[in-house]
Amino acid sequence: MSTLAGKTILMSGGSRGIGLAIALRAAADGANIAMLAKTDTPHPKLEGTVHTAAEQIRAAGGRALPIVGDVRDDDDITEAVLKTQGEFGGIDIVINNASVIDLSRSLDLGAKKYDLMQDVNVRGTFMLSRAAAPILKEAPNPHILSLSPPLNITPRWLGAHTGYSLAKFGMTMATLGLAADFAEYGIAANTLWPRTTIATAAVQNLLGGDRVMAASRTPEIYADAAHAVLTKPARDYTGQTLIVEDVLEAEGVTDFAKYAAVPGTPDDRLFPDIFL
């Protein structure tokens, strides 16, 4: 049984939702998790701060290093990498979880929001991964994992919300580029995306409220798939745009019923995620 015991993960974001679920799954193995996140104080609409996430990680069996900072800020990225190395002695895994979503049509999308999505999703993914690479190189099984979709550049998805599509596809392109660039160092870089919507605050607030939440799967399905990816041999398992359910099926999981946000919801009633 593969484990993340003793491994050190540096994650962008992670105060709540999918990032926190991935962190808690790793913590259950006894992993060390450093989180670079902005949420120092509670958000009026969203649960969780980087500090409450750290408490949950420790309660789950892991070691936590909450770092208040912004993945858009190069000094914050450098500080996060150095603090993580200083606290835990290295970095084994980078998870690019921080992401901004705005599904506005092109004529409705504010310029500042366009820039924010590019800065966090694309630039943040590139800069955090790059900053950690010299330390990742020294790890026995180094992985970069970005929570972004396959490059499905059909008019349906590029046209629906061009600004957001560009930002998410940009995360994926950056990750695939780093997979090729860092192959000589044995650093894996992959992306991971779900087939259905995941019950998170972002889905609740931005995608369709209670109706879509009820037709979603829990963040734990993403966490279990991420765990499977991050325990694979890095040199052999890289440069892929992976789908959560496909990863789990390859691990022998055939029944996804336990992941339904509302128990008993049949698979054919679940809401498909965008980009697939």
Question: Catalytic residues, which ones?
Answer: 164
> Residue 36's closest CA among 112, 167, 124, 108?
124
Q: d(Cα 55, Cα 265) in Å, to the nearest integer?
A: 32
Q: d(Cα 177, Cα 117) in Å, to the nearest integer?
A: 19
Tell me how far apart the terminal alpha carbons of the chain are, to the nearest angstrom: 31
| In 204-256, beta strands by DSSP E | 241-243
- CA distances for 28 relative to 7, 32, 61, 184, 223, angstroms: 12, 10, 5, 31, 11
Dmax over CA atoms of the chain, in Å, equals: 51
Q: d(Cα 164, Cα 109) in Å, to the nearest integer?
A: 9
Q: Which amino acid is at 56?
A: Q
